[in-house]
Amino acid sequence: MSPKAPRCYRPLVAAHRVASFDPLLSPAVGASMVRLCERYGAYGMYSEEPTFAGLGEGLPARYDAVRNFLRTGGRFGRSEPHAVLVARTNYFRETYAYGDEVRIAGIEPFLRHEGFVEAARALYGRPVIVPAIVYANLLVPGQELAVHTDVPEFRGISRKTHPQWLIVVMHHSGLFAEWRMPIATGVAWFHDCAGGDFVFYPDGPQAPPDAHPVRSNTALLLDTDSVFHGVDRVDERERPLTPLWPGMRLAALGDGRWQVLDGERPVAEYRWEELRFSISWKAYCFADEAERRGWREHQADLSVASVLDRLLADLAARGVIRGTRPSEAELPDLLIDTYVRYPAPVRAA
């Protein structure tokens, strides 16, 4: 049986469109999420997400967020060498469930959580909620997650088949709202952590952010495709950031010990309490079964060609481009700079 929403579930706040859960699960089920994390075994780097041929070929999947992070030095505008900044946001991720595929037993109480489903209905006023993805993020001391918005989905355009940074641009442009599939995201934590606050901007990128400290067995649910958010730096006073680069893995050794591996070569070892662990839940939110059926049957899907034509026409109407179409090498930067407005960095405390 799916877990019910706990009594202390707080419904969506209209001004902020955020639901909070404290606690999210029973103590026993919450503790099982930590054991599940270790049981999964090893976690690759998110930077290894696939890229696609054509526009932006060879760029990182989240070129938009990484580019802004390297330009600004993160939420606090820190000035550090390029390689250090890359290592700071090159965190570890694996997927526990995708669509109908459950990739590790024991994640079902989280995947089917009725409190998340109830909050997702309230978020968009859409009654048909289909849980779709569960994934885990692990950060080591000194890492942070660049401020960003998540990858949305549109009819015919998804992260499995198209560049993630382009899909983010599509949403921020506002030109494709009628094709968008609203997604609700729950972010949950299952152990306490020094640093690593979840920072989000519910009132927009120009307003002050909220910072949610990591506390075991709590969660937030919101529209992360629209609300900028990130993770502040995990405490590194005891252990400074280890040099990290793509291809490394974070592997469980047992007894609360974890190791970063470069191939089979150990690079660093951590205790469980030094890491930051979160699990995210995503669900599609449909107005009715007819809309769900249309999405499944790919009715009225967009194509990349039609998306680019509309974006280029809008750039021309804005006077951003005149005459000659920008090259494929120039277009990613032009699109991101035109449509994605990040929160400005603040002075470090």
pLDDT of residue 347: 67
On the question of pLDDT at 13 being above 50, the answer is no
* Side chain identity, residue 21: F
Q: What's the mean pLDDT in 309-332?
A: 93
| pLDDT (tens digit per residue) in 268-316 | 999 999 999 999 999 999 999 999 999 999 999 999 999 999 999 999 9
ω before 23 within 30° of 0 (cis)?
Answer: yes
pLDDT of amino acid 348: 54
Q: Which domains does the chain have, with CATH numbers?
A: 19-339 (2.60.120.620)
Is the full-model pTM beyond 0.75?
yes
Cα-Cα-Cα-Cα dihedral sign, residues 253, 258, 260, 265: negative
Cα separation, 111 vs 290, whole angstroms: 24
Residue with tokens 């729950």: 186
Between CA 147 and CA 340 the distance in angstroms is: 12
Higher pLDDT, 69 or 2: 69
Secondary structure letter of residue 180 according to DSSP: B
Per-residue pLDDT of 226-256, as tens digits, reads 999 999 999 998 888 999 988 999 999 999 9
Query: Is the pLDDT confidence value at 327 over 50?
Result: yes
